[in-house]
Structure 1
């Protein structure tokens, strides 16, 4: 039982860290080696100073929905972890972690929706007149997709997890 409890906790913390990285880092779309776009900024690499110069992205409805869904996923996963810790100490023996599992599953649905929106509407989100075939998805986008099954698995595990002594 202790091993299962520790495994679920580690899985939850790993997915929460992955969600934070996917939401805040600068690599959702990569245009070659010198330009990166994310949910918040478009960055260009300046070779003269060897620094990244970033400007805010052009806001549109699709981008705002992806931003909101990713932030919601972080919030729901954080609430889920806090509820789990609270339930772990306050819930009577034999109780199930329904609230924790539902919050974690809802976080999975929000990441899934955000990733789908970015996948199908990247032309409108990126707003560039350039050909999208010159760019590729970045590691934050891939992390977001990896979070989806991990969040669903941990949500199901929480729903079936019963508190023992």
Structure 2
């Protein structure tokens, strides 16, 4: 009796943990895709997947212009949005399965979607890492800048997405 109670309690904690991990990873993916700091030259200028921005001291605002379409930027944009979509679908499917799946069922589809989200995010950050010079197309030397926090956040999402995908694939629905 005690073993069964302990096991059910542990599964409840695992369920809460994996749900929180998914929500946190989804938020990190959203921030890394939409926020403006994939490449930073100084605290006054940065570039992201969508805009190149410069801080104007006179008006105390960011002045942004659309990024130039390059053969490498577009795939990074598409892959990051796909990663966000896969992770969102995965979360919605998980919630649906949580309430409709029979006892003992596994969350395979949810895990598969998370793994696909991890693969697309990994592809996007690898392309950006290897081709940032072509993506930025800036007159300044790329070496005078550095990767921003959104780029780092995207890299952090990759192992978290893979881990949550594996956890979902092994997670069984209990009563």
Query: Which residue of structure 2 lines up, in the alignment, with residue 97 of structure 1?
Result: 107
Which segments of structure 1 move beyond 4 Å, counting only runs of 4 or more? none
List gaps (5 residues or longer) in structure 1.
none
Structure-1 separation of matches of 2:68 and 2:143: 20
Counterpart residue number, 1:116:
126
Kindly provide the CA deviation profile for residues 24-83 of structure 1, in whole angstroms up to 9, marking residues without a partner as x: 000000011211100000001111111100000000121000000000000000000000
Distance 1:33 1:40 in 2: 18
Inter-partner Cα distance in structure 1 for 2:67 and 2:173: 46
In structure 1, how many angstroms separate the alpha carbons of the residues matched to 2:71 and 2:96?
A: 37
Structure (1 or 2) with the larger CA radius of gyration: 2
Listed as ranges, the gaps of 5+ residues in structure 2 are 1-10
Is 1:38 matched up with 2:43?
Answer: no
CA RMSD of aligned residues (A): 0.5
Q: Report what 1:10 is aligned to.
A: 20
Relative to the length of structure 2, the TM-score reads: 0.93
The equivalent of 2:91 in structure 1 is: 81
Secondary structure of 1:61 counterpart: coil
Matched residue SS, 2:63: strand
Matched, 1:127 2:113: no
Task: Give how far 1:129 is off.
Answer: 2.5
Normalization by structure 1: what TM-score?
A: 0.99
Q: How many residues are paired up? A: 165
Verify: 1:140 aligned to 2:116, yes or no.
no
SS at match of 2:106: coil
For residues 93-123 of structure 1, the C-alpha deviation after alignment (integer angstroms, 9 at most, x for no partner) is 0100000000000000000000000000000
Alignment match, 2:64: 54
Counterparts of 1:133 and 1:60, CA distance in 2: 20
